[in-house]
Amino acid sequence: MGLIAGILYFNNDANVSSISLILNKMLKVQKHRGNGEAKTYSRNTVALGMVNSQDNIFVMDSFRKGPSYENDTTLKGIHAFVDGVVLDVPMHIKTFEHLGYPVSNACCSTVVELAYKHWGMDFMNYLEGEFSCTIWDENRKTLILVRDPYGHKPLHYYIDSKKIIFASEIKGILVADFSAEIDLISLSDFLSLNCIPCPGTIFKGIKQVPPGNIIIISNGSVKNNSYWYPKITEEDSLSLNDASKLLADALRSSVKKRMIKKNTYCFLSGGIDSSAVLSFAAELSNRPIQAITVGFDEEEVNELEYAKTMARHVGAEHHYMIAKPDSFYEMLDFLVYHHDSPFTDTSA
């Protein structure tokens, strides 16, 4: 995991040193999301930062910054901060080099900056991955908050007439220049629906960036655009065999794109979904897959034996633990701290 955070004041009254201190607090309180060195930017009324050890996951030792890039100003004034991984970075790097952009490194954040530079606000139509990100366009004095189509990575924000504060987790906002108050409408929704509908949260004024959305803040105005939504179509001419092959090919391709590191880890519940992912991962890998399972003492909900069977079938190295009722009480404070909101999904 990784984390992002930032604050932007809409007037010139902000103190640069004070917002830098606020940013440091926002990053520190979310440090459990990632380790590594923080990348930060502070200028006048804006401060942004991230910690993301996976930002350079595609950087190879052979990729070096050449002397011709030293004075390049292609991305001057464009600053991207990413939580998560942009997929197909090597392919994107080749594309941008072909388009004539000097590329100084192969980081995920650099690909986001180049995509924004080339395609503008449509940049997310050309990127794939499990990430949220923010972009500060210094030239246009515009802040952009983006969340991937499926909302894999969280991103929250608070906005009033003076400023916008954003962070991966709500706690990142709570330690900033913010006075917390329970949203009674959200509380009512939770008690009635067992959830708080997006984009709401339990705190008044704090919202989620909805999955597949891009929020643009410029000159104090806020614009929310949906860049992706699911399309469901019917194809009557497909046979069952053809449809099965298309599904298998899509799953295989998706799994392959995510097998970036030398070792691959799969959560294996024992059900169809996780078993399919593990099966394709094992097919694509030249080394054993690490399969992780959580089992239960209660037989009616325990699928550990199915998981063990599947792990043996594909030759995975299987690691598992038994979750006991006492574990819930031992972890209750931990769960509440990390969820930031009430929830009823017991699998979480």
Structural domain for 136, as ranges: 3-226
**Are residues 249 and 220 both part of a single domain?**
no
Strand partners, 206: 158
pLDDT at 72: 52
344 domain residue, yes or no = no
pLDDT at 65: 42
**Are residues 161 and 305 both part of a single domain?**
no
Boundary residue ending a domain (197, 226, 255): 226
Q: Return the CATH number at 312.
A: 3.40.50.620
Q: Are the CB atoms for 51 and 35 separated by under 8 Å?
A: yes
How far are the Cα atoms of 132, 155, 191 from residue 202, in angstroms, in the given order?
Answer: 21, 15, 11
Boundary residue ending a domain (163, 195, 226): 226
Averaged pLDDT, groups of 10, the chain, 348 residues long? 93 76 95 91 92 85 40 77 94 93 88 96 95 96 96 95 94 90 96 94 96 93 92 87 95 94 92 96 96 90 93 97 86 88 77
Q: Read out DSSP for 121-172?
A: GGGGGG--EEEEEEEEETTTTEEEEEE-TT--S--EEEE-SSEEEEESSHHH
Say how many domains are in the chain.
Answer: 2
231 domain residue, yes or no = no
**Are residues 131 and 33 both part of a single domain?**
yes
**Are residues 205 and 255 both part of a single domain?**
no
Q: Is the dihedral of CA 210, 213, 217, 222 positive or negative?
A: negative
**Are residues 211 and 285 both part of a single domain?**
no
Whole-structure pTM value: 0.90
Boundary residue ending a domain (194, 226, 258): 226
**Are residues 200 and 245 both part of a single domain?**
no
The three-class DSSP label of residue 8 is strand
133 domain residue, yes or no = yes
200 domain residue, yes or no = yes
285 domain residue, yes or no = yes
**Are residues 83 and 123 both part of a single domain?**
yes
pLDDT at 232: 86
**CA dist., res. 346 & res. 348, Å (int):** 5
End-to-end, the C-alpha distance of the chain in Å comes to 17
b/e sequence 100-113, b meaning 16+ C-beta within 10 Å: ebbbbbbbbbbbbb
**Are residues 9 and 122 both part of a single domain?**
yes
Instruction: Give me the phi and psi of 169, to 5 degrees please.
Output: -110, 155
**Are residues 180 and 255 both part of a single domain?**
no
Q: Where are the beta strands (DSSP E) in 168-289?
A: 206-208, 213-218, 221-226, 265-267
Q: Return the CATH number at 92.
A: 3.60.20.10
**Are residues 56 and 198 both part of a single domain?**
yes
**Are residues 53 and 110 both part of a single domain?**
yes
**Are residues 71 and 175 both part of a single domain?**
yes
pLDDT at 106: 86
